[in-house]
Structure 1
Amino acid sequence: MGRRRVSYFYDRDVGAYTYGYGHLMKPHRIQMTHELVVAYDLLDKMTVMRPPRATAEQMTAFHSDEYINFLSRVQPDTPSITNPQLVQFLGFPDDNPPFDGVFEYHTISSGGSLAAAEAITSGASDIAINWAGGLHHAKKSEASGFCFINDINLCILELLRFHTRVLYVDIDCHHGDGVEEAFLNTDRVMTCSFHKSGNFFPGTGTTNDTGKGKGRGYSVNVPLHDGLSDESFKHIFEPVCAKILEVFRPSVVVLQCGADSLSGDRLGCFNLSMQGHANCVQYFRDSHIPLILLGGGGYTIKNVARTWSYETACAVGMEETMGQELPWHDHFECYGPRFRLEVAKSNAEDENLIDGYLEWTRRITLERLSKLPHAPSVGMHEVPSQSVAEHIGFVFPEEDDKDDVDRRFYGTSIPWFFS
């Protein structure tokens, strides 16, 4: 296998944000992942970049103007009594708190995913990585499940400007509802989510949820039970993805690598080892289709960092050279008492093997995929060489004519999205 050209996007400020004391989502895990990537000498195997931060205009490619305007203004001490938009836009504020720097944090996560899309569409990279991305629950005008801005949807929309068909695969323990909902009616994006079944947030993604209208059949949901093992996951993941590649023939794959499907996660209930999780990355790497790797959930942060650093090594084909003894780095003490590059499985029972559930789910999913008539096509037009702003006649006001709102959202120059 030839060495893949890999772009790796990281902003050193990402670990400085916090959802608040006691909250399960820890942006610091991205910094911990990066430190392990550095400690294992993986950076020189990739093109490493600090991505431009996403602008408000870029975010409105998917999100509503009102929602983005709200996020850019909200403060941690805003009382819900005087601002009813807190409930309207944040849903459950305990899950989605208006923490200090909430908008700036999501400009980082979204900027990395947009930059990853650019790296792929420009032909500069075969694989692009943004571990700060993968926030798959956010809706058009509402935060959900710790996710405020859906960087995945922004990434896919950018890819659709150049690619006829985009495959989105989600291995987070939670259903990728925000992405499925956004592309529910199109056959140009196939979404495939492997997630916890039943009464588990967000409570969507049954096998009967297959899309609507023109997109019927292009939403694939594989709900799985507690205790999912490496063997069971591989038994269903590889045949389903192989069939998707056969019938859908995507020109690019976006893989959301949510790490709450790992054994021992504080919110998840699967029993995957680090290698079982990374098998998904290896599978698509070896398919030689352009690939974007994004983060997602993951709440036992030392296991998140272990796994995403290992999957970074998988992207560059160096996983076999990584020593099991963790190298010394700033967060070395966090990995005790074993200090090893591993996420061990527990002795939990694999409930997917009870009453033939795994085989039934595998069979029904493959049967439905077999009924798709062909890979959908679309008439692609040349992307204009001029900026999008110029092409649609959008003119930014001269600096002297800008009011405070103009300066806040447009700055002093045209955002890189329009260049």
Structure 2
Amino acid sequence: MAPPKKVCYYFHPDVGNFHYGPRHPMKPQRLAALHSLILAYELDKKMDMRVMPKATADNLKIFHDEEYVNFLQSVSPAVASQFEGDFASFNIGEDCPIFDGIFEFCSLYTGGSLEGAVRLNHKLNDIVINWAGGLHHAKKREASGFCYVNDIVIAIIELLKYHKRVLYIDIDIHHGDGVQEAFYLTDRVMTVSFHKYGNYFFPGTGTMYDWGQSQGK
């Protein structure tokens, strides 16, 4: 019989405290509720429980534009008026609002994904779970679809240090456009997305003919 797989699960007690706004459908509080269920079912006893480390600005710049990361570090509701001139270029608005702790939230969920990739690379775990991560719409220099930092792309870049190729499977109802775009020209990452398409469903991309381009085709 094969030995049980070593599973690592990331959580941080602060990750459920962030608030996009009273009418916004993105609710980080659900992460705290999920964690309570994991404890109630005693799944924590079956996994290596780890507190998410905070990713640094330099970690985020592995993929994201420096000017965009600096913006996320500096902006807050209290000083938002000083940065309004950047909102359009960084796609800040109703879907991606400015809220308190925006950079801390991004650094937490990205830190879990990045360290999780490191643990996989060094074979410390067979499976890593980071329910707070998976913000697949964020682009190199803009927010999109509730996502500000693309932790998936950053984690994949880390995996590529040790692996020739990575297969990324996305089962969100929305197309994983940010991840696909990041690796569209390389044959080292294959992105497979299962999502609703058509009738102007967000983000409106992800046809069955998205095969990549150049070396990535």
Query: How high is the TM-score relative to the length of structure 2?
Result: 0.96
AA partner of residue 184 (structure 1): Y
CA distance in 2: counterparts of 1:82 and 1:66, whole angstroms = 12
Equivalent pair of 2:80/2:98 in contact (CA under 8 Å): no
Q: How does 1:262-301 map to 2 (within 5 A)?
A: none
Show CA shifts across 1:193-221 (max 9, x none). 000011200000001111000000xxxxx
Contact 2:20 2:97 (8 Å CA) reproduced: yes
Preserved contact between residue 80 and residue 86 of structure 1 (Cα < 8 Å) = no
Q: d(CA) in 2 for partners of 1:165 and 1:82?
A: 39
Shift of 1:80: 5.3
What CA distance in whole angstroms lies between the structure 2 residues aligned with 1:77 and 1:94?
17
Distance between the aligned counterparts of 2:108 and 2:11, measured in 1? 9
2:161 corresponds in structure 1 to 161
Aligned to 2:17: 16
1:145 equivalent to 2:145? Answer yes
Once the two structures are TM-superposed, the CA of residue 83 in structure 1 deviates from its matched residue by 2.7
Amino acid in the other structure paired with 1:20:
G
Paired position in structure 2 for 1:173: 173
Cα 1:105–1:82 change in 2 (3 A) is: closer
Which structure 2 residues correspond to residues 20-419 of structure 1 after superposition, within 5 A? Answer: 20-79=21-80, 83-89=84-90, 91-198=91-198, 199-216=200-217
Separation in 2, partners of 1:78, 1:176: 32
TM-fit CA distance, 1:2: 3.9
Question: How many Å separate the matches in 1 of 2:149 and 2:116?
Answer: 16
User: Contact 1:175–1:205 (CA<8 Å) still a contact in 2?
Assistant: yes
Decide whether the 8 Å contact of 1:9 with 1:50 is kept in 2: yes
> Aligned AA for 2:113?
S
Q: Report the structure number with the largest CA radius of gyration.
A: 1
Cα distance change on mapping 1:82 and 1:128 into 2, 3 Å: closer
Task: Report the residue type matching 1:27 in the other structure.
Answer: P
Alpha-carbon shift at residue 9 of structure 1 (Å):
0.9
Aligned to 1:256: none
State the distance in 1 between where 2:191 and 2:54 align. Answer: 26
Query: Could you say what secondary structure the match of 1:195 adopts?
Result: coil
Q: Output the CA distance in 1 between the equivalents of 2:40 and 2:78.
A: 39
Q: Where in structure 1 are there 5+ consecutive unaligned residues?
A: 217-419
Note if contact 2:116-2:128 (Cα within 8 Å) is conserved in structure 1. Answer: yes
Give the Å deviation of 1:75.
1.3
What amino acid sits opposite 2:139 in the alignment?
Answer: K
Equivalent position amino acid for 2:163 in 1: H
The answer (yes or no) to whether the contact 2:134–2:151 under 8 Å persists in 1 is: yes
Q: Report if aligned partners of 2:76, 2:98 keep a CA contact under 8 Å in 1.
A: yes
Aligned residue for 2:89, secondary structure, equals: helix
Alignment size in residue pairs: 215
Q: Distance in 2 between matches of 1:56 and 1:160?
A: 20
Write the distance in 2 (CA, Å) between the matches of 1:61 and 1:181: 15
Q: Call closer, same or farther: CA 1:79–1:104 in 2, change over 3 Å.
A: closer
Query: Partner amino acid for 2:59?
Result: Q
Bigger mean CA deviation after superposition, 76-85 or 199-208? 76-85
CA-to-aligned-CA distance 1:337-393 (integer Å, 9 cap, x gap): xxxxxxxxxxxxxxxxxxxxxxxxxxxxxxxxxxxxxxxxxxxxxxxxxxxxxxxxx
Q: How far does the alpha carbon of each residue in 1:109-158 deviate from its partner, in whole angstroms, 9 at most, with x for none? A: 00000011011001110000100000000000000000000000000000
Give yes or no for contact 1:5–1:126 (8 Å, CA) kept in 2: yes
CA 1:71–1:79: 2 relative to 1, 3 Å: closer
Q: Secondary structure at the match of 1:169?
A: strand
- Does the aligned pair in 2 maintain the 1:80–1:87 contact within 8 Å? no
Please give the alpha-carbon distance, in whole angstroms, between the structure 1 residues aligned to 2:92 and 2:76. Answer: 16
Q: How far apart are 1:77 and its partner, in Å? A: 4.0
Q: Secondary structure at the match of 1:7?
A: strand
